[in-house]
């Protein structure tokens, strides 16, 4: 773990609720995400990640465009995807878009590459879902593009022969691999030499300690230097534990049950929510002190270099998310660093 833990925030641009309970229009949600990123920069958050989806319940399909809007109004915060669905994208265009973001943000861009947990992008862009794994593995070459002519051949696209790719970056593009916890994905990240982001959306963080250990062992066996490990987990911060839970629970329930109906999960209930909020769960919901303590424990357990809290949670209203971001930056981050000092 680095000496100073980076503390970031992630959002999927979840379609939020207006004061009368109706869904906020997607264009307004996108503008709200920009304001959330600006606030995160102002209160000292290290990183803002914006996810890619192609669904009615998530407004952001092009994170790099939203991040460029945030870049124009910020000075310090790092900007990245959470994640870019590489399996259903053109890898050269991914590199070009994020290299462009890196330029306009003066070197603050990152890209987190993943296979994505939803499949809507495959029929939308004309990709064969049967090539889900193959497309991701072959497309990874784009994140490793050197600042020199590229020669590459695979089975999912035409080969590249001494091809230059522009724009060039000034210091290289920081790229991570996001994984859900399969050993194969962890080893692949090590084999390619990518930093690792582990998405923990259920269960205790200690369940993922073997994956962090596997990643470090794989790096060592491959003769690679130690690389950062980050965690992405959902959460919400309010002034008190009870307020945070009461704000988050109804939106968490609706979101969990909607996605669960698509994937064959049973409906959740308040007792399960409380368990996930507790020490052995994956929800970082509570007062600044409660959330900071849980983040610090996770960081120590897994040896993290960064922790990113997904602060959007279903239709959780924009003003409540803004308050959560403010508390995360002004209260949670200093508390975590004190606890780890």
Cα 52–Cα 31–Cα 235 angle in degrees, nearest 5: 60
Summarize the confidence of residues 266-285 as an average pLDDT: 95
- The answer to whether residue 60 scores a pLDDT higher than 70 is yes
- The answer to whether residue 1 scores a pLDDT higher than 60 is no
Q: What is the pLDDT of residue 146?
A: 67
Residue by residue, DSSP assigns 91-105 as: HHHHHHHHHHHHHHT
Look at the block and give the residue holding tokens 């998530």.
58
User: Is the torsion defined by CA of 259, 261, 263, 269 positive or negative?
Assistant: positive
Mean pLDDT of the chain: 94
The predicted-structure confidence for 102-143, as pLDDT tens digits, reads as follows: 999 999 999 999 987 798 999 999 999 889 889 998 888 765
pTM of the model: 0.95
Summarize the confidence of residues 181-207 as an average pLDDT: 94
Q: Is the preceding omega at residue 83 within 30 degrees of 0, hence cis?
A: yes
Of 239 and 153, the structure prediction assigns the larger pLDDT to: 239
- Cα separation, 127 vs 201, in Å, equals 27
- Cα separation, 137 vs 157, in Å, equals 12
Summarize the confidence of residues 166-173 as an average pLDDT: 91
Q: Are strands 306-310 and 229-237 parallel, antiparallel or unpaired?
A: parallel
Q: What is the pLDDT of residue 143?
A: 59
| Confidence category of residue 152, pLDDT binned at 50, 70, 90 | confident
The predicted-structure confidence for 22-59, as pLDDT tens digits, reads as follows: 999 999 999 999 999 999 999 999 999 999 999 999 99
Residue by residue, DSSP assigns 193-237 as: T--EEEE--SS-GGGGHHHHHHHHHHHHHTTPPP--EEEEEEEEE
The predicted-structure confidence for 84-97, as pLDDT tens digits, reads as follows: 999 999 989 999 99
- The answer to whether residue 82 scores a pLDDT higher than 70 is yes
Summarize the confidence of residues 9-22 as an average pLDDT: 96
The predicted-structure confidence for 312-338, as pLDDT tens digits, reads as follows: 999 999 999 999 999 999 999 999 999
Domains of the chain plus CATH, in order, are: 6-340 (3.20.20.30)
Highest mean pLDDT among 139-143, 151-155, 202-206: 202-206
Cβ-proximal residues to 131 (8 Å cutoff; 6+ apart), any chain: 87, 156
The H or E element containing residue 289 is helix 288-302
């Amino acid at each position: 773990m680095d000496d100073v833990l980076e503390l970031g925030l992630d959002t999927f641009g979840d379609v939020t609720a207006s004061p009368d309970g109706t869904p906020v229009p997607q264009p307004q949600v996108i503008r709200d995400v920009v304001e959330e990123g600006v606030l995160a920069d102002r209160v000292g958050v290290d990183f803002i990640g914006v996810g890619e989806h192609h669904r009615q319940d998530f407004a952001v399909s092009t994170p790099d465009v939203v991040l460029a809007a945030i870049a124009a109004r910020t000075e310090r915060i790092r900007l990245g995807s959470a994640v870019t669905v590489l399996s259903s994208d053109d890898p050269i265009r991914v590199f070009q878009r994020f290299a462009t973001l890196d330029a306009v943000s003066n070197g603050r861009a990152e890209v987190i590459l993943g296979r994505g947990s939803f499949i809507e992008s495959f029929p939308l862009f004309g990709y064969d879902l049967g090539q889900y794994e193959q497309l991701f593995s072959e497309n990874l070459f784009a994140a490793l593009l050197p600042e020199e002519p590229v020669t590459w051949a695979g089975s999912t696209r035409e080969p590249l022969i001494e091809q230059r790719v522009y724009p060039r970056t000034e210091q290289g593009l920081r790229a991570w691999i996001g994984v859900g916890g399969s050993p194969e994905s962890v080893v692949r990240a090590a084999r390619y030499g990518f930093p690792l982001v582990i998405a923990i959306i259920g269960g205790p963080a200690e369940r993922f300690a073997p994956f962090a250990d596997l990643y470090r062992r794989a790096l060592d066996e491959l003769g690679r230097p130690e690389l950062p490990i980050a965690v992405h987990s959902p959460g919400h911060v309010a002034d008190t534990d009870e307020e945070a839970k009461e704000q988050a629970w109804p939106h968490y329930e609706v979101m969990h049950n909607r996605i669960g109906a698509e994937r064959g999960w049973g409906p959740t209930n308040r007792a399960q929510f409380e368990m996930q909020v507790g020490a052995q769960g994956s929800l970082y919901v509570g007062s600044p002190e409660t959330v900071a303590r849980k983040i610090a424990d996770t960081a120590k357990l897994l040896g993290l270099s960064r922790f990113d809290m997904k602060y959007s949670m279903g239709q959780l209203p924009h003003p409540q998310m803004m308050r959560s971001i403010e508390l995360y930056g002004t209260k949670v981050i200093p508390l975590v660093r004190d606890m780890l000092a």
